[in-house]
């Protein structure tokens, strides 16, 4: 088929095609050359080599909080898996990991319930006897506490009430339970030390002195302590590979736009980086395939759009209504509530988070600011060009600051989501000798050509999950 380049018929070949030299630009222009903002920012924020494929770290909280309110839901209160006394309603699963900052084994807390059907069973105070995964339920989490109750307080003397089997200490599936720190349990009248109390080893109506907030007498002995174990967490590296093949002929041939091998290298590098970015966003829980000789490991990602899975649990807007905003009626006051919740438990550390958001979220931010009438100024001059419109790239909430970056992957099935990341608690962990690398001519089978591949084995270390959040438009 003959082609015409629009210069008439005077300088054509006999088949009708043009004799003039084709002018074709020497560059291939790619659409969306950079679509991996989380990978790019986390790599710059902190990269630390992992010596082994499964890397671990430790977390804990100082005992700082003095009073909290726990919202009670359908799965907040559980029973002990040990039968007998104090086996009913003695496990409480807190709303956020940050609330664990208040509780240690041996700590005593005055308690009350309000709203809904939440009940503390007539107890005036509770002592924590286990925290985290040491709590005695069938499926404890890092946000679980196990308690016993006191039904009478006289000054610093607390009277223990042993609940018979089937009699709940805590109950309900709505409302709130309010805790206030009272002090540390010392030695019970039956000789049991406060931090050694278990579900059933204290005699009913035994009394204990709770000390710590009212001062100590001159010359007093050393008081008993409260205790708490450190959490041990892990993630793993995941292998990403992106191969490509070019024949010997194609490699030797001169192409418009430059070397075909270079083109393939660039395309496949962008592809593998995009795969990592998508995994960072959407991977759920860690999977180690431990029974396989050559396992396929999948690192735990942020869990965007994956209910109940992924690193972010405390503030996961997939199911947590505190992190949800109505797209049709949500206003800045509602959004301020979300921002305050994200930063509510921050005493120190980063008060600024980077939010990667869908275009839908970016439009909603602009709509809320316009509707509020705040933050908008437009000054115009006759005969002069002025800039109009509004883009929200930074938001100062009642507590904390959010910086917004549009994310191209948060569209389609994920258009309702935005993810807030505190990069002071994120590091990218490539395995030793397995950071991003180009492996050349890796298939030696005698064929006339070569196969190369990009390869990386790496994973994210996302610490203190309560400092990150997934937001959702509803």
CATH (domain of 338): 3.90.1690
H runs (alpha helix) in 355-447: 359-372
Rounded Cα distance, 54 and 75, in Å: 31
Cα separation of 474 and 319, whole Å?
Answer: 11
If asked whether residues 41 and 141 sit together in one domain, one would say no
The domain containing residue 156 runs over which residues? 63-212
Tell me if 290 sits within 8 A of 456, measured CB to CB: no
- Do residue 155 and residue 242 come from a single domain? no
7: in domain: no
Q: 275 and 151, same structural domain?
A: no
Distance between CA atoms of residues 299 and 285, nearest Å: 7
Same structural domain for residues 266 and 400? yes
Are 189 and 280 in a shared domain?
A: no
Q: Which of 212, 243, 265 is the endpoint of a domain? A: 212
- From first to last of its 474 residues, what are the pLDDT tens digits of the chain? 445 455 566 677 778 777 666 665 566 555 555 667 788 777 777 889 999 999 999 988 888 889 999 999 999 999 999 999 999 999 999 998 989 989 999 999 999 999 999 999 999 999 999 999 999 899 999 999 999 999 999 999 999 999 999 999 999 999 999 999 999 999 999 999 999 999 999 999 999 999 987 777 888 778 888 889 888 999 999 999 999 999 999 888 888 788 889 889 999 999 999 999 999 999 999 999 888 889 999 999 999 999 889 999 999 999 999 999 999 999 999 999 999 999 987 765 578 899 999 999 999 999 999 887 655 554 555 555 666 677 888 999 998 999 999 999 999 999 999 999 999 899 999 999 999 999 999 998 889 999 999 999 999 999 999 999 999 999
User: Do 142 and 198 belong to one domain?
Assistant: yes
The reply to whether 411 falls in a domain is yes
Nearest of 419, 437, 430 to residue 461 by alpha carbon? 430
417 and 330 fall within a common domain: yes
Could you tell me if 161 and 200 lie in one domain?
yes
Write down which residue in 212, 247, 262 finishes a domain.
212
Q: Assess if residue 300 is contained within a domain.
A: yes
Q: Could you tell me if 285 and 421 lie in one domain?
A: yes
Contact 222, 263 (CB under 8 A): no
- 50 in a structural domain: yes
Shared-domain flag, residues 110 and 152: yes
Of 256, 306, 236, 269, the residue nearest 458 (C-alpha): 236
pLDDT tens profile 168-210: 999 999 999 999 999 999 999 999 999 999 999 999 999 999 9
Overall number of domains in the chain:
2
Do 197 and 48 fall within a single domain? no
């Amino acid at each position: 088929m003959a082609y015409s380049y629009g210069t008439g018929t005077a300088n054509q070949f006999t088949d009708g095609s043009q004799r003039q030299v084709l002018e074709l630009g020497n560059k291939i222009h790619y659409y969306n050359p950079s679509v991996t903002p989380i990978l790019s920012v986390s790599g710059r924020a902190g990269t630390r080599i992992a010596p082994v494929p499964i890397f671990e770290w430790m977390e804990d909280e100082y005992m700082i909080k003095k009073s909290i309110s726990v919202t009670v839901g359908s799965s907040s209160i559980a029973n002990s898996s040990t039968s007998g006394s104090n086996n009913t309603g003695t496990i409480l699963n807190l709303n956020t990991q940050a609330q664990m900052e208040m509780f240690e084994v041996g700590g005593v807390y005055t308690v009350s319930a309000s709203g809904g059907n939440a009940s503390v069973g007539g107890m005036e105070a509770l002592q924590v006897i286990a925290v985290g995964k040491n709590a005695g339920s069938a499926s404890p989490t890092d946000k679980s506490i196990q308690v016993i109750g006191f039904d009478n307080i006289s000054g610093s003397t607390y009277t223990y009430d042993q609940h018979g089997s089937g009699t709940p200490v805590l109950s309900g599936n709505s409302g709130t339970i309010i805790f206030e720190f009272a002090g540390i349990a010392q030695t019970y009248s039956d000789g049991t030390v406060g931090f050694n109390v278990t579900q059933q080893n204290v005699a009913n109506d035994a009394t204990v002195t709770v000390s710590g907030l009212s001062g100590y007498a001159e010359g007093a002995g050393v008081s008993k302590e409260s205790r708490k174990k450190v959490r041990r967490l892990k993630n793993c590296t995941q292998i990403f590979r992106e191969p490509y093949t070019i024949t010997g002929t194609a490699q030797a041939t001169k192409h418009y736009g430059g070397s075909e091998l270079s083109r393939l290298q660039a395309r496949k590098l962008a592809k593998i980086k995009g795969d990592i970015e998508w995994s960072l966003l959407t991977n759920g829980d860690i999977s180690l395939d431990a029974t396989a000789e050559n396992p396929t490991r999948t690192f735990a990602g942020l869990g965007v759009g994956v209910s109940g899975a992924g690193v972010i649990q405390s503030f996961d807007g997939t199911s947590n209504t505190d992190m949800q905003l109505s797209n049709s009626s949500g206003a800045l006051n509602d959004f301020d509530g979300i921002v305050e919740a994200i930063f509510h438990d921050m005493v120190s550390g980063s008060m600024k988070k980077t939010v990667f958001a869908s275009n839908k979220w970016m439009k909603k931010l602009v709509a809320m600011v316009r509707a509020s009438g705040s933050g908008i100024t437009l000054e115009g001059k006759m005969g002069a060009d002025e800039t109009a419109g509004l883009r929200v790239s930074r938001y100062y909430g009642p507590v904390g600051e959010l910086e917004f970056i549009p994310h191209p992957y948060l569209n389609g099935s994920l258009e309702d989501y935005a993810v807030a990341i505190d990069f002071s608690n994120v590091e990218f962990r490539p395995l030793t000798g397995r950071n991003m690398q180009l492996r050349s001519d890796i298939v030696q089978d005698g064929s006339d050509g070569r196969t190369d591949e990009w390869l990386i084995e790496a994973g994210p270390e996302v610490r203190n999950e309560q400092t990150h959040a997934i937001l959702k438009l509803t």
